[in-house]
Structure 1
């Protein structure tokens, strides 16, 4: 085994580090990290998993962090008008655009509301009106610098409380894209999770989670009873938590699918 140890030692040499750094970044890109266009990132194929679990019933779909409604439109296109879609967007500017698209669509319910782990008013940080990177987390390193002129006070609510108030007993699909605040959204759904009322969850994980101090381990611990997948083009890939190797703070979407009892 000495030759193996010698080879490993040589591969770690300073002169080879630029090669490994390039290989590392290339591997992450090929694994679908930093894929920003949801129509080509594999997110549409991930919806096939949801569709396959419906057994013919009309689904209840939640789009948390809907922005101007592009993802909501994809849900409507994929599942049709029989689906009940609940779209949440706290930003005043983004919600205005969302309303223009869906106010006249009976199957889509819009809420200018942020979901979190507690009710009350909070600051929505942003770089521009209607921004795609607005967050309840005051990110130290957002993609674009935040601008206090665009900060807003927004209402927050727990998902448990929203569903209780609107008599929603189950959620077939919960998509959460809220720039580092995803775990707080899920922590606001502990009753629903405990009663196995959420079937499939899609959540984003990446650079903003550094600022919110959340780890993939936190999601795995909270979502016990779910199988995890990385979302990639062609269909989700099974994923298992492996300690530090799984804590990759580069943006990607994961799918959590509830295991059958």
Structure 2
């Protein structure tokens, strides 16, 4: 089972399905205007709410010109303010009797740390195999850091920088706080020991 948190148009999730058509891919995209595009990529399990660190309501600023830049943390020009439901990953999995997740992709324009905070039970019990997340300037918008990610994950997971020729496991260092766009892969220590 894979989760695509911040699905946008569904291109990433569609690539996962192409590799393994039998895999269940669960999409989370609060902008319901993108549902038809997501479905056109062969994806049918779509949840139009935010995954975060709280259960309740949240405001998101939908950018209709560049939907991938819609954000809970900053208000782009010509954006529409929309109230949506917010659910923690722990609650979603508990409510839906999901015991483990093989892979999660998180691209939430600065909301990545909140997503991780809302998955503490899953993280503490290593019920997520791997997590890929995007890091960059949107972390400034949410006033979060890579240190926050390491604080949440490093006890049970190996955190690696994704490079063109592979991954590079890295311990935390202030030098990493560049806010330049990059991708990171987090692997459960239970899995990493077999790699």
Common fold: TM-score over 0.5 = yes
Residue 193 of structure 1 is matched in structure 2 by 123
Pick the aligned partner of 2:63 from 114, 118, 127: 127
Decide which of 153, 176, 180 is 2:83's aligned counterpart.
Answer: 153
- Aligned match of 1:70: 11
In structure 1, what is the Cα distance between the partners aligned to 2:62 and 2:71? 7
1:234 aligns with 2:165: yes
Partner of 1:169: 99
Aligned to 1:96: 36
- Residue 156 of structure 1 and its aligned partner are, at CA, apart by 1.1
Does the 8 Å CA contact 2:124/2:156 hold for their aligned counterparts? no
In structure 2, how many angstroms separate the alpha carbons of the residues matched to 1:146 and 1:76?
34
**Which residue of 38, 48, 53 corresponds with 1:112?**
48
Question: What is the TM-score with the length of structure 2 in the denominator?
Answer: 0.91
- The structure richer in helix per residue is 1
The answer for the alignment partner of 1:44 in structure 2 is none
1:118-148 residue CA offsets vs partner (Å, 9 max, x unmatched): 1122111133266111111125xxxxx4324
Contact in 2 for aligned 1:94/1:129 (Cα 8 Å): no
- The structure whose Rg is larger is 1
Matched position secondary structure for 1:192: helix
TM-score by length of structure 1 reads 0.69
Gaps of 5+ in 1: 1-59, 140-144
- Report deviation, 1:240: 2.1
| RMSD over equivalenced CA pairs, Å | 1.7
The alignment status of 1:136 with 2:67, answered yes or no, reads: no
- CA-CA distance at 1:151 after TM superposition: 2.3
3-state secondary structure, aligned to 1:126: strand
Distance 1:130 1:88, change over 3 A: farther
CA distance in 1, matches of 2:83, 2:37: 19
**Partner Cα distance (2:30, 2:143) in 1:** 22
Contact 1:117–1:188, Cα closer than 8 Å, also in 2: yes
Q: State whether residues 91 and 130 of structure 1, in contact with CA within 8 Å, keep that contact through their aligned partners in structure 2.
A: no
Q: Which runs of 5+ in 2 are unaligned?
A: none
